[in-house]
Structure 1
Amino acid sequence: MDLIPKPDQIVAASANVAQKVLYGGVADLRPMPRTLIDEGTLREVYHYRSQGRVRETGDPVLLVTPLAAPSLCFDLRRGCSLVEHLVTQGRPTYLVEYGQVSFKDRNLGMEHWVQEVLPEAIRTVSRHAGGRPVHLVGWSLGGTFSLLTAAAWSKLPIASVTAVGSPVDVTQVPLIAPVRPLLGIVGDRASLITLAYRVMGGVPQPLVKRAFQLSAFDKLVTKPFVQLAKLDDTDFLAQIEAVDRFTKNMIAYPGRTFGQLYHRMVRGNELAEGTVHFEGRDISFADITVPVLAFGGSGDTIAPVSSVRPIEDLVPDLRFEVVPGGHLGMLTGRGARETTWRILDSFIDEHASDAGRTTKRASSGARTATAKKKPSAPAKRATASPARGGTVRNAQGEPAIGSNPNRRFSSASSRGLAAPRRGAS
Structure 2
Amino acid sequence: MDDDTSDAHQIYPFDRFLHAAEARATSGISPASVMSAYLDWAVHLANSPGKQARLMEKALRKSVKFSAYLQRALTRRQEGPCIDPLPQDRRFQADDWQQMPFCALYQGFLLTQQWWDNATHGVAGVTPHHEDVVSFAARQMLDVFAPSNFLATNPTVLRRTMEEGGMNLVRGTQNFLEDWERTVLHQPPAGTEKFKVGENVAVTPGKVVYRNRLIEVIQYEPTTKKVGAEPVLIVPAWIMKYYILDLSPENSMVKYLVDQGHTVFMISWKNPTEADRDLGFHDYIDLGVMRALDAVRGVTGGVPIHTVGYCIGGTLLTIAVAALCRDGSDWIKSMTLFAAQTDFTEAGELMLFIDDSQVAYLEDLMWDRGYLDARQMAGAFQILRSNDLIWSKVINEYLMGERAPMSDLMAWNADATRMPYRMHSEYLRSLFLKNDFAEGRYYVGEKPVALTDIHVPVFIVGAERDHVAPWKSVYKFNLLADTDITFLLTSGGHNAGIISEPGHPHRHFRISEKKEHEPYVTPDQWFENVPVSDGSWWPTWDAWLTQQSSGSVDARPVGNADAGFAPVCDAPGRYVMES
* Letter of the 2:568 counterpart: G
Deviates more, 1:62-71 or 1:205-214: 205-214
Contact 1:87-1:93 at 8 Å conserved across structures: yes
Which one of 198, 205, 217 corresponds to residue 374 of structure 2? 205
Contact 1:101-1:253 at 8 Å conserved across structures: yes
What's the offset of the Cα at 1:223?
5.3
Tell me the distance in 1 between the aligned counterparts of 2:561 and 2:270: 28
Contact 1:122-1:158 at 8 Å conserved across structures: no
**Cα distance change of structure 1 residues 141 and 30 upon mapping to structure 2, 3 Å threshold:** closer
In the alignment, which residue of structure 2 is the partner of 1:15? none
Contact 1:204-1:253 at 8 Å conserved across structures: yes
Gaps of 5+ in 1: 4-19, 229-236, 360-385, 390-404
What's the offset of the Cα at 1:300?
0.2
User: Which structure 2 residues correspond to residues 160-175 of structure 1 after superposition, within 5 A?
Assistant: 160-175=334-349
Tell me the distance in 2 between the aligned counterparts of 1:218 and 1:257: 32
Contact 2:235-2:313 at 8 Å conserved across structures: yes
* Letter of the 1:306 counterpart: K
**Cα distance change of structure 1 residues 415 and 299 upon mapping to structure 2, 3 Å threshold:** closer
**Cα distance change of structure 1 residues 348 and 223 upon mapping to structure 2, 3 Å threshold:** farther
Matched, 1:308 2:482: no
Matched, 1:29 2:226: no
In the alignment, which residue of structure 2 is the partner of 1:322? 489
Contact 1:274-1:286 at 8 Å conserved across structures: no
Which one of 269, 272, 275 corresponds to residue 104 of structure 1? 275
Which one of 204, 227, 245 corresponds to residue 57 of structure 1? 227
Matched, 1:291 2:457: yes
Contact 2:225-2:555 at 8 Å conserved across structures: no
User: Which structure 2 residues correspond to residues 18-417 of structure 1 after superposition, within 5 A?
Assistant: 24=194, 29=201, 31-51=203-223, 54-58=224-228, 59-154=230-325, 155-178=329-352, 180=354, 182-184=355-357, 191-221=360-390, 222=392, 240-317=406-483, 318-333=485-500, 334=504, 335=507, 338-352=535-549, 354=550, 357-358=551-552, 408-409=563-564, 413-414=565-566, 416=568
Contact 1:34-1:424 at 8 Å conserved across structures: no
Deviation per residue, 1:52-102 (Å, 9 max, x gap) = xx2251121111111121012211222211011111112111101212211
Contact 2:440-2:448 at 8 Å conserved across structures: no
Gaps of 5+ in 2: 1-93, 96-189, 399-403, 509-533
Higher helix proportion = 2
Tell me the distance in 2 between the aligned counterparts of 1:419 and 1:93: 13
Deviation per residue, 1:321-356 (Å, 9 max, x gap) = 21111111121144489433123212211211x3xx
Contact 2:203-2:248 at 8 Å conserved across structures: yes
Tell me the distance in 2 between the aligned counterparts of 1:205 and 1:343: 34
What's the offset of the Cα at 1:224?
7.6
- Number of residue pairs matched? 346
**Cα distance change of structure 1 residues 167 and 147 upon mapping to structure 2, 3 Å threshold:** same
Tell me the distance in 2 between the aligned counterparts of 1:246 and 1:150: 28
Deviation per residue, 1:97-152 (Å, 9 max, x gap) = 21221111111111112233212211211332343211111110111111111111
Tell me the distance in 2 between the aligned counterparts of 1:83 and 1:349: 16
Matched residue of 1:184: which SS? Answer: helix
Deviation per residue, 1:398-421 (Å, 9 max, x gap) = xxxxxxx99852xxx535169996
* Letter of the 1:347 counterpart: W
Tell me the distance in 1 between the aligned counterparts of 2:226 and 2:498: 23
* Letter of the 2:348 counterpart: P
Tell me the distance in 2 between the aligned counterparts of 1:201 and 1:120: 24
What's the offset of the Cα at 1:28?
5.3
**Cα distance change of structure 1 residues 322 and 252 upon mapping to structure 2, 3 Å threshold:** same
Tell me the distance in 2 between the aligned counterparts of 1:299 and 1:157: 34
Deviates more, 1:32-41 or 1:122-131: 122-131
Contact 1:297-1:324 at 8 Å conserved across structures: yes
Matched residue of 1:300: which SS? Answer: coil
In the alignment, which residue of structure 1 is the partner of 2:135? none
CA RMSD of the aligned region, Å?
3.7
Matched residue of 1:331: which SS? Answer: coil
Tell me the distance in 2 between the aligned counterparts of 1:301 and 1:70: 19
- Identical-pair percentage: 22
Tell me the distance in 1 between the aligned counterparts of 2:298 and 2:348: 42
Tell me the distance in 2 between the aligned counterparts of 1:276 and 1:62: 24
Matched residue of 2:568: which SS? Answer: helix
**Cα distance change of structure 1 residues 414 and 387 upon mapping to structure 2, 3 Å threshold:** closer
Tell me the distance in 2 between the aligned counterparts of 1:315 and 1:247: 32
Which structure would you say has the larger RCO, counting Cα contacts within 8 Å and 6 or more residues apart? 1
TM-score by length of structure 2 reads: 0.53
Contact 2:202-2:246 at 8 Å conserved across structures: no
Tell me the distance in 1 between the aligned counterparts of 2:256 and 2:273: 33
Contact 1:43-1:96 at 8 Å conserved across structures: yes
What's the offset of the Cα at 1:220?
1.3
Deviation per residue, 1:234-293 (Å, 9 max, x gap) = xxx87x511221112111111111001211122112243255234543121111121111
Contact 1:63-1:137 at 8 Å conserved across structures: yes
